[in-house]
Amino acid sequence: MVDWSVAGVVLVHGAWHGAWCWDGVVDELSAAGVPVTAVELPLTSLDDDVAVARHAISHQGGDVIVLGHSYGGLVISEAASGMPEVSRLVYLAALMINTGEDMVELMTEHESEMLGASVPEGNGFVVDRARAAQLLYGDSDEAVVESLLPRLRPMHVQSLRAQRLPAWRDRPTTYVICSNDRAIPPSLQRQMATRADVVEEWPTDHSPFLTRPAAIAALLSRCGS
């Protein structure tokens, strides 16, 4: 058991993924006796995703640490707004956007390789699976990547609307920069991380939940002790 002083953790995945991407982190936290909920976003709109995340936060009880990965940063910035039970926000290679900023413009300015790697699918868009391995999962074994590519889901374009008043303005915040990220450029991550109270930099790809679940669990344990 860890010395844990908050009610638990809520994990919010990024674009195209699901709650399954946190399985390793959930296992680590559960083994340490830390209550944890991995949210399954519908990816139908940012408003829908925020509503689901808020529901999970409210049902975790007491003080809660909320972690968002990638697009999940947009979700937690709004989901935690006006929720005093959120004790800390954690952004893992995540979008920590301010009101009035345009995500696509920022990604363009920092020459994100993701901009040319999204393709239409169903009623939304998904990452080109032929490029997903190099852009998202550079640290993972090929067999692992092949097993998860079929699980990626399309997300609706309404998920990319402008950010409303973000909760990080008045909440303790940690940002983890992934310095080998090819999806959200490290230069953009460092720019966004200046808004956080605590900043760490890891030499990882965009998806450390696959290769470093213990490191993520340890980070959350430090935040909650």
CB 162 within 8 A of CB 130: no
Q: Give the C-alpha separation, 202 to 178, whole Å.
A: 5
Tokens of 161: 């609307």
CB atoms < 10 A from the CB of 109, how many? 13
Phi and psi dihedrals of 102, rounded to 5? -105, 120
Q: What's the rounded Cα separation, in Å, for the pair 152 and 17? A: 5
- Sign for the CA dihedral angle at 82, 85, 87, 89 comes to negative
Residue given tokens 């699918």 in the structure block: 121
**Is 140 among the catalytic positions?**
no
Beta bridge partners of 66: 10, 89
Indicate which residue of 5, 30, 45, 70 is catalytic: 70
Give Cα separations from 67 to 25, 44, 64, 175 (angstroms): 11, 20, 10, 10
Active site residues: 70
